[in-house]
Amino acid sequence: MDRERFEEHLAAPQGCGVVLPGAHDGAAGGALCGDLIRLSVVVEGDRVVAAAFDADGCGALTAAGSAAVTLVEGEHLFDAARVGTTAIAAELGGLSPGKLHAADLAADALHRALGAAAREAAVPVDSERVLVAMSGGVDSAVAAHLLRENAVAVTLELWRDEENDAAASCCSADAVRLARMVAHQMGLPHFTLDLRPEFRAGVVDPFLAGYAAGETPNPCVSCNGHVRLDEMLTLADRLGAPFLATGHYARVTEDGLLRAAADPAKDQSYMLAALSPASIARMRFPLAELTKPQVREIAAGARLPVASRADSQDLCFLAGTGKARFLARHGGLEDKPGEIVTLAGDVVGAHRGAHHFTVGQRKGLGVGAAPEPLYVIRTEGTRVVVGSRDELATRRVRVRGARLHRPSDEVDAVRLRYHSRAVPCRVVGEGRSFELELDEPFHGAAPGQTACLLRGDVVVGVGTITA
C-alpha cells in the first residue's frame, strides 16, 4: 500500500462536501456497516463534467470517495463507467483487505449515480454498439464476452428487501456487484440501472393482485415484456446503442418474430413472448444457437469467474423467502381457511388459504386417501375444488388481453405453461379476448398464466389464460 497517495486523498479530498446543481446521486452503505457515502455526478452529453461526494464513516471511505471523483471528473461517460473497486484502490496506492470495503462502497455509490445520469445522457450513436444486459450469471456473461468488441454492459437492480437472499437473486445489489466485476474484467463500461419503483409497479403489484384474485400470474413474462427490456432499450438510446443483447436462449426470424432456441431444453421464447415486434427488431440473442454445456465451455475458456455459477431458480424477488410469506408481507394476503371439495361437492379436506393452490397442482393438497390421484381444478373464494386427471383436462381455453402479430388463422399451436410442450390449436373468435380450441386435452390451464401463441416454433402472439 502506498501510504503517501492514500494520505493525499485523505488530507485534501477532491470534491468533498461540494454541492453540484443538477447532479445525479448514488448512495451506498448504511446502518449495517456504519459507513455511508453519497456520490454525485453531472453529465453533459457524453461526459462527466463534475463530481463530488460526502462520506460519513472511516477515513478510508473519505479517501475512496476522493479517488472516485478524481478518476471520473472530466472523463467520457464510458470511461467513468469502467471505474470500479480495483481502479479506486489503485488510485489510493492499493488498499489492505481491511480497507477494501471503502473502495467497494465508493464504487457502488458511483455506479448508482452514473446509472441515474445515463438515463439523461446523449451519447452519439455508433451503428455497431450494443448494450448487453448482465445479470451476474454465466449466460449473460458469455453474451457480453461474445459481443465485447462493441459492448456496453448494464445490470438492473429490481428488488431490495431484508428477507431477500441477495446472493441467490439475479436482480439484487450483490448481483449488480458481481456483474460489474465481470464486465470490468472484460474492459467493458458498466452501468447500474435502478428500476425498483418500475418493477414494483409493473411486476410485483400485478403479481400480488393476481394471487388476490385467485390466479397464478407469470411475473417473468410481464417483466420482460413490459418493464425490464423496454427500460433497457430506452437506456440504449441514451447511450447511442441501436441494439440490446441478452443471455436468453431464443432466435429471431427474418420477418422479425421470436422463434424457439436451437436447444429445446433451454428455449426461453415463452418468457419473451410479450415483447413487441418493435422491441424484437432491436434485440440480439448471442446464445440462440448454443447449448448450455457449450456456453459453460466458452465461459471456462475465457476464464470468466461465473463459468460454474449455478442458474437462478426462484423468482428473483422470492429468493430466500417463501411465496406465502411474501404474499402476506407485501400484499396483505393472509390465510383464510376453507374446504377442499370434489366437483360433486363432497368435502375431502381442509386448507389454510386458497392462494396456496394453483390449477393442476397435485402435491401438497392435504387430502386423505383417494381411489385415484386428485388435482386442483379451480378455486372458488375460500373453496378449493379438486378432481381426477380426466376432470382436469380441457379442450377449450379462454384468453384475455391477447396481442397477435399475425392473422389469427396462422396460429396453429399454443404453449400454456413455460415447461409444457406446444398443443395444436385454433383461435375461435376475434378481438383481444377469444377461445383456443385444442386438438388434444390439456391438463392444468391455470388462470393468470401466459398463453404463448405459435406458428410452428415461431411466437405470433400472446395472451393471458382466464377462468
Known binding-site residue numbers for ATP:
133-140, 156, 247
Q: Alpha-carbon distance 191 to 79, whole Å?
A: 11
- Residue 359: name the closest of 339, 345, 380, 336 by CA: 380
CA dihedral 107→108→109→115, nearest 10 degrees, is 100
**Closest by alpha carbon to 173, among 50, 59, 1, 32?**
32
DSSP lists the bridge partners of residue 121 as: none
Q: CA–CA separation, 281 vs 286, rounded Å?
A: 14
Q: Closest by alpha carbon to 15, among 57, 44, 48?
A: 48
The answer to whether 155 touches 192, Cβ cutoff 8 Å, is yes
Helix axes 138-146, 173-185, angle to 10 degrees: 30
Active-site annotation holder among 170, 220, 223, 452:
223
| In the block, residue with C-alpha cell 465461459 | 299
Of 170, 171, 220, 316, which is the active-site residue?
Answer: 316
CB 240 within 8 A of CB 124: yes
Provide CB contacts within 8 A for 143, sequence distance 6+.
132, 133, 134, 245, 246, 247, 285, 286, 287
Task: Name the 3-class secondary structure at 53.
Answer: strand
Say if residue 20 is exposed, middle or buried (CB neighbours under 10 Å; 0-12, 13-18, 19+). Answer: middle
% helix, strand, coil for the chain, step of 5: 35, 25, 40
Contact call for residues 413 and 456 (beta carbons, < 8 A): yes
Backbone angles phi, psi at 90, to 5 degrees: -65, -40
Tell me the one-letter amino acid at 326.
Answer: F
Known active-site residue 316: yes
For residues 26, 32, 33, 34, the Cα torsion angle rounded to the nearest 10 degrees is 80
Tell me how crowded residue 316 is: count the other CB atoms within 10 A of its CB: 22
What's phi and psi for 311, nearest 5 deg?
Answer: -70, 145
Q: Which residues are catalytic?
A: 223, 316
